[in-house]
Amino acid sequence: MLKRHWFIFLFLISFGIYLHAGDVTNYSGTWMLDESKMETGDGGPRMAASKLTITQDAKQITIERFISSQFRGDFTSTENVTLDGKETVNKSDFGDRKMTASWSKDNKVLTINSIMEMNRDGQSFQMNSTEIWTLTDDGNVLKIDQTRMSPRGERKSVLYYNKEKKSKTE
């Protein structure tokens, strides 16, 4: 009888650990760039989004990036990325962007890798990027460590976005 209770106890503990391991960080919300915290040691991002609107479910994450550019004006870029590690292709005015997402072992950190095929004046080239997403400050700050490789070399930056608070009337 004692062996059976021990087995049931171990099963329940294992099942609880399995259920907890499945929890992934949810980045859903509206996020505003905190320019005072930006770390752009080597030139930084030329077109960092001033605002991110993110929706996420168990299968995918959708990222709307609101960008202001001196050459292009204000525009929005929308990307859909599956969360199962499979490649997703997003089309834009700049070219096709192939993206994959992967989780850290503890499901707290999301890494998004992308390759953008671009063509300018008949010249084709690639821009590779890695974004490592982490929530800090009790989920109120989204930190994005960004590395981009282009024909002009590697650029690194760290961007901080503050979560927009919902009004009490919502």
The average pLDDT across 118-124 equals 79
How many angstroms separate the CA atoms of 164 and 141, rounded?
A: 10
Q: Is the pLDDT of residue 18 over 80?
A: no
Is the pLDDT confidence value at 62 over 80? yes
Q: Which is higher by pLDDT, 46 or 63?
A: 63
Banded pLDDT at 161 (limits 50, 70, 90) = very high
Q: Which residue has the higher pLDDT, 114 or 13?
A: 114
Handedness of CA 148, 53, 26, 40 (dihedral sign): positive
Residue ranges of domains in the chain, CATH in brackets: 26-163 (2.40.128.20)
pTM value is: 0.79
Q: Which token pair is 25?
A: 């960080």
Q: Could you tell me the maximum CA-CA distance found in the chain, to the nearest angstrom?
A: 78
Q: Residue 24: its pLDDT value, please?
A: 92
Q: How far apart are CA 25 and CA 109, in angstroms?
A: 7
